[in-house]
Structure 1
């Protein structure tokens, strides 16, 4: 099957593309290789993918509408996995326009192309950040998510609303994935595990926000990939029991679904740091700081809907996941 993966040079997109190629699919990878973080890391991910003859790379951005349409015309993908986006909660406070260009305008271009080229299933990245001010734990896809606390979160919530509109108007099956703090080998340099590992190895202090009183549902990359792969074979279907008198946010009368993909096991930030220290054999120097704007104190994913749909729950332990990441980090950066 021909599958388009946007953001194929990114952390999740790279791993998803690699799995799809392993399963024998033809993958069209789309990425603009922007400089939000180290471009050489993206290029090195791509160098692995381009070794496979079933992988085709197209270097464009989501906001380039005519070029996006040309990709759909040339390759005729049956499934689209949209993982390209301007990422990062904190960066959205500094550069909001980047989020509108990529996450709103770009996603519109993807939806329109899926509509006109008769795509069978659109899977797209949402985020646990959509839960915003919601304090009811664990977070459920059936919760109301109308109170985002960052523009990044608002852009992801917007994606879900836009997807529903296309599912309603054009019968396009859309599946939104709310990722919970993804980590693992080849991860993003702006994420906590990467930042902490680098700083500790270099003998530099790590920034511990909210004075360490944070909990995150850290989710290992292999569990994310397994969930996505299974969902490619399970297009969203209408919920026949859906009622406009008591609307369920996570399903619809249209072919629209939203799933949490998280480890269903929140970890205290200080325990997360302790696991890094244990693997490295070094105690971190810690700089305790207040909660940052746009951040939430805790995340915790209810994954029952995911399990019921594809018979899978993320399960990799923090100890194993951190160990795998640090082994990769030391090899990649040639740390003795």
Structure 2
């Protein structure tokens, strides 16, 4: 089994991916700088189940540290990279666009340069459905024009895709760029809508809801996303952009209603106006991912939310065998 480097490996998606990679027998090198974007202890909690696994290596490195990153790739004989590390969130990117450009564009360039000089030639890059902007031609296809991002975050993810394609053309780094659609599940970042709503409903406290509730998202369970990433690692050839979503859309009002069903509690809603940078709709066309990866999301929203609720209620978490 090969050695996989996962940037942002202590984050939400990265920790779920790491667990699966270890179970499949891979060696995993996790690179994470434990930024204070949110409580670093949340990330430490993510990796507790496998921190002592003999095939797991945790390194506190910023992806912008190109020399250090290249040395890691060479020392651990890395065979492929999954690049998840990024500053996330549409609204914060509007407040601090320079940081997003620095980390998301500069950091991705650093990863690509490190791969180039270390001789690593396979990359899976986490892009975002936000690159589609307010495209009304749903479901969104990878061939759509994506030249009008509505936030700096979306712009940085589109720039990352373009850098990846450039490095494939120039340096032969084979890359699949995965446009991820609103990923949720246990361990989701605390400021994300579903985590925020779930905690407030359980606590019986009012929660801010932006807009009239008719905006809709393609909510995708994290283990379905992980399955798509794993398939991409196996299949990556050349350069491709692929949607990973559930191919189902749920309005904000429907989401809140489902959360009320799952928790058996009533949500206390504080309605606010729409926020700049938020789009009205996301909806993935996953035809291409089905064809190339055999990707087939299997988790319903109700199932996924139940699993999140169990995790919040401190359901036992089985550590990996060592």
Range into which the TM-score falls when normalised by the shorter chain: over 0.9
Secondary structure of 2:28 counterpart = strand
**Partner in structure 2 of residue 77 of structure 1:** 78
Q: TM-score, normalised by structure 2?
A: 0.95
Alignment RMSD (CA, Å): 1.3
Q: TM-score, normalised by structure 1?
A: 0.91
Matched, 1:326 2:309: yes
**Partner in structure 1 of residue 30 of structure 2:** 29
User: Could you report, residue by residue, the CA deviation over 1:263-296 in whole angstroms, capped at 9, with x for unpaired residues?
Assistant: 0000111111111111111111111122211110
**Partner in structure 2 of residue 89 of structure 1:** 90
**Distance in 1 between the 2:134 and 2:250 partners?**
20
**Partner in structure 1 of residue 10 of structure 2:** 9
**Distance in 2 between the 1:102 and 1:70 partners?**
20
Matched, 1:122 2:123: yes
Secondary structure of 2:314 counterpart = helix
User: Could you report, residue by residue, the CA deviation over 1:221-270 in whole angstroms, capped at 9, with x for unpaired residues?
Assistant: 0100111111111013xxxxxxxxxxxxxxxxxx2101100000001111
**Partner in structure 1 of residue 105 of structure 2:** 104
**Distance in 2 between the 1:133 and 1:301 partners?**
13
Task: Tell me the CA shift for residue 108 of structure 1.
Answer: 0.6
Secondary structure of 1:233 counterpart = helix
Moved over 4 A (4+): none
Mean Cα displacement is larger for which, 28-37 or 205-214?
205-214
Contact kept? 2:18, 2:28, Cα under 8 Å: yes
Task: Tell me the CA shift for residue 97 of structure 1.
Answer: 2.3
**Distance in 2 between the 1:280 and 1:50 partners?**
32
Secondary structure of 2:53 counterpart = coil
**Distance in 2 between the 1:188 and 1:331 partners?**
17
Secondary structure of 1:48 counterpart = coil
Contact kept? 1:134, 1:147, Cα under 8 Å: no
Matched, 1:293 2:276: yes
**Partner in structure 2 of residue 200 of structure 1:** 201
Secondary structure of 1:331 counterpart = coil
**Partner in structure 2 of residue 284 of structure 1:** 267
**Distance in 1 between the 2:200 and 2:236 partners?**
42
Count residues with an aligned counterpart: 315
Task: Tell me the CA shift for residue 71 of structure 1.
Answer: 1.1
1:144-163 matches, within 5 Å, as 144-163=145-164
Contact kept? 2:220, 2:246, Cα under 8 Å: yes
**Partner in structure 1 of residue 286 of structure 2:** 303
**Partner in structure 2 of residue 316 of structure 1:** 299
Which consecutive residues of structure 1, in runs of 5 or more, have no partner in the other structure?
Answer: 237-254
Task: Tell me the CA shift for residue 332 of structure 1.
Answer: 7.0
**Distance in 2 between the 1:82 and 1:49 partners?**
20
Contact kept? 1:124, 1:176, Cα under 8 Å: yes
**Partner in structure 2 of residue 140 of structure 1:** 141
Contact kept? 2:134, 2:280, Cα under 8 Å: no
Contact kept? 2:70, 2:117, Cα under 8 Å: no
**Partner in structure 2 of residue 212 of structure 1:** 213
